[in-house]
C-alpha cells in the first residue's frame, strides 16, 4: 500500500486573520490512543509479517524486516513508550517512515495496532504537549491535535525514533548480509561462498573493533576475569555450565575473540571456525538466549577496560561485531540440530 505523496502543508490567508497552516497526518491507533505522524515522512504501509530478531537490541526494536533487499528495523511503539510489548492482531501493520538524523537518513518500521486515516489538522487546532497526564513521554510529543472533539497525539518523529541503536544496525543494511547470515550455514555448510567475498561489517566498524581490541591485549587476563565475574552476577545460573579452570577458560576466550577480530576482513575463513565453536557451545549446554547475556557482560567489560576509549562509535562497532559472531555461532547450532 503506497502512502499518498500529496502531503504539502497549505496555508489559508484571509483578510486580517493569522496564517493557518494545514498539515496532513497519518493516524493510527495503539490501544485506546490515537496517534498521528506527519505524512511527509511516511513511505509505505505494509502488513505485519515475519520479523527476524537481532541479538543485543533494546526491547523496543522488535526485529528487522527485509524490504526489497534492504534491512529495516521495526520499532515496537508500546515498548518504546514503556507500556509493555505489542500483541499482534488482525489489523497490526508496519508503517515505514524515513527519518533524518544528524544528516543520515534511515528507513524504519513502526508497529501499530491499526492504521486509521490520512487527515488534515490545521495548525490552530494543535496544542502544545501536556506537561503531565499523558501516557507518552512529553518529549516524544510534537503537539496534541484536536480532531472532532478528540485529541490525537502528534509524535515528534525525530525524538521518538532517532535511537542510537539504529546506527549499529547500519551494518545489516544490505541483502548480501541478510543472505549471508540467514542462509549461509544451511546452504554452505563448508563455509564456501564461491567468487564472492562475504562482507558483513563496514570497514569503519572493523577498524574501530580492531583498534580498541588492541588496547585490551595488555590487560587480557584482568579483562577475562572481569568478564566472567560480571557474567555470573548477571546470571548466576550460567556458572554451572563451566567445569574447567576459569583462568585457562579466560585465556581461550580472549584468544578466540582476538582471532575473530583479526579475521573480520576475511569472514569466509572465520565463518567455518564460528560454526564449529557454535556447535561445541551447544554441547556445553549453551542456549540461544545466553548469547544476549554474554554480549551484555562483554560490553560491560570493554567499557571498564577501555575507559574513555569506549566511545559511542566503539560501542556501536562492538555491538555489530558481537551481533555477527553470535548470529553465525547460533545459526550453526540450529543447522546442526
Per the DSSP assignment, residues forming a β-bridge with 47 are 93
Least Å distance between CB 228 and ligand HEM? 10
122, 277, 296, 336: which one binds ligand HEM (CB under 6 A) = 277
Alpha-carbon distance of 185 to 337, in angstroms, equals: 12
Nearer to ligand HEM, 108 or 286 (CB): 286
62, 325, 327, 333: which one binds ligand HEM (CB under 6 A) = 325
Q: Is residue 96 within 8 Å of 48, Cβ to Cβ?
A: no
Nearer to ligand HEM, 29 or 249 (CB): 249
Nearer to ligand HEM, 147 or 282 (CB): 282
Query: What is the residue-wise DSSP string for 103-127?
Result: TEEEEEEEEESEEEEEEEEEGGGEE
Strand (E) or helix (H) holding 35? strand 33-38
171, 181, 216, 326: which one binds ligand HEM (CB under 6 A) = 326
Region binding ligand HEM by CB under 6 A among candidate stretches 74-82, 106-114, 123-131, 238-246 = 238-246
Residue 10's SS3 state is strand
Site string for ligand HEM, 286-315 (x = CB under 6 A): x---xx--x---------------------
Q: Is residue 191 within 8 Å of 272, Cβ to Cβ?
A: yes
* Residue with the three cell numbers 532517532: 162
238 binds ligand HEM (CB under 6 A): yes
Residues of 233-258 as b/e, b for ≥16 C-beta within 10 angstroms?
eeeeebeeeeeeebeeebeebbeebb
Q: Identify residues 248-267 at the interface with ligand HEM (CB under 6 A).
A: 249, 252-253, 256-257
Site string for ligand HEM, 74-113 (x = CB under 6 A): ----------------------------------------
284, 309, 311, 312: which one binds ligand HEM (CB under 6 A) = 284
Which residues, 6+ apart, have CB-to-CB distance to 8 below 8 Å? none
Nearer to ligand HEM, 20 or 238 (CB): 238
Least Å distance between CB 313 and ligand HEM? 20
Q: Identify residues 197-216 at the interface with ligand HEM (CB under 6 A).
A: none
Least Å distance between CB 217 and ligand HEM? 16
Nearer to ligand HEM, 194 or 243 (CB): 243
Q: Is residue 221 within 8 Å of 247, Cβ to Cβ?
A: yes
Q: How many CB atoms lie within 10 A of CB 29?
A: 14
Nearest to 59 by CA among 43, 32, 83: 83
What number of chain residues touch ligand HEM (CB under 6 A)? 21
Least Å distance between CB 286 and ligand HEM? 4
Alpha-carbon distance of 301 to 313, in angstroms, equals: 16
* Residue with the three cell numbers 549461509: 184
**Rounded-to-5 percentages of helix, strand, coil across the chain:** 45, 25, 30
Q: Is residue 74 within 8 Å of 64, Cβ to Cβ?
A: yes
241 binds ligand HEM (CB under 6 A): yes
Nearer to ligand HEM, 284 or 334 (CB): 284
Least Å distance between CB 218 and ligand HEM? 20
Q: For binding to ligand HEM (CB under 6 A), which residues are involved?
A: 238, 241-244, 249, 252-253, 256-257, 277, 280-281, 284, 286, 290-291, 294, 325-326, 329
Amino acid at each position: 500500500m503506497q502512502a499518498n505523496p500529496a502531503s504539502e502543508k497549505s496555508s489559508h490567508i484571509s483578510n486580517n486573520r493569522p496564517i493557518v497552516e494545514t498539515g496532513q497526518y497519518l493516524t493510527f491507533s495503539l490501544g485506546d490512543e490515537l496517534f498521528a505522524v506527519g505524512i511527509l515522512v511516511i513511505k509505505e504501509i505494509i502488513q505485519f509479517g515475519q520479523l527476524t530478531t537481532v541479538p543485543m537490541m533494546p526491547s523496543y526494536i522488535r526485529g528487522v524486516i527485509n524490504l526489497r533487499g534492504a534491512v529495516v528495523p521495526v520499532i515496537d511503539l508500546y515498548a518504546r513508550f514503556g507500556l509493555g510489548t505489542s500483541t499482534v492482531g488482525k489489523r497490526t501493520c508496519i508503517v515505514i517512515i524515513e527519518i533524518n538524523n544528524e544528516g543520515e537518513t534511515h528507513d524504519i518500521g513502526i508497529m501499530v495496532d491499526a492504521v486509521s486515516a490520512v487527515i488534515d489538522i490545521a495548525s490552530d487546532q494543535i496544542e502544545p504537549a501536556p506537561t503531565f497526564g499523558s501516557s507518552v513521554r512529553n518529549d516524544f510529543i510534537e503537539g496534541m491535535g484536536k480532531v472532532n472533539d478528540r485529541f490525537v497525539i502528534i509524535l515528534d518523529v525525530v525524538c521518538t525514533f532517532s535511537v542510537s541503536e539504529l546506527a549499529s544496525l547500519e551494518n545489516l543494511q544490505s541483502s548480501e548480509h541478510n543472505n549471508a547470515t540467514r542462509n549461509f550455514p544451511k546452504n554452505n555448510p563448508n563455509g564456501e561462498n564461491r567468487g564472492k567475498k562475504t562482507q558483513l561489517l563496514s570497514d569503519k566498524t572493523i577498524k574501530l573493533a580492531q583498534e580498541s581490541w588492541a588496547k585490551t591485549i595488555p590487560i587480557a587476563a584482568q579483562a577475562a576475569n572481569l568478564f566472567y565475574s560480571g557474567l555470573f552476577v548477571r546470571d548466576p545460573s550460567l556458572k554451572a555450565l563451566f567445569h574447567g579452570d576459569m583462568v585457562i577458560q579466560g585465556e581461550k576466550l580472549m584468544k578466540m575473540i582476538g582471532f575473530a577480530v583479526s579475521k573480520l576482513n576475511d569472514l569466509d575463513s572465520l565463518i567455518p571456525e564460528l560454526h564449529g565453536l557454535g556447535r561445541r557451545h551447544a554441547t556445553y549446554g549453551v542456549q540461544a538466549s545466553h548469547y544476549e547475556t554474554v554480549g551484555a557482560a562483554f560490553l560491560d567489560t570493554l567499557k571498564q577496560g577501555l575507559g574513555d576509549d569506549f566511545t559511542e562509535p566503539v560501542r556501536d562497532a562492538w555491538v555489530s561485531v558481537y551481533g555477527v559472531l553470535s548470529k553465525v555461532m547460533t545459526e550453526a547450532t540450529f543447522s546442526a540440530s
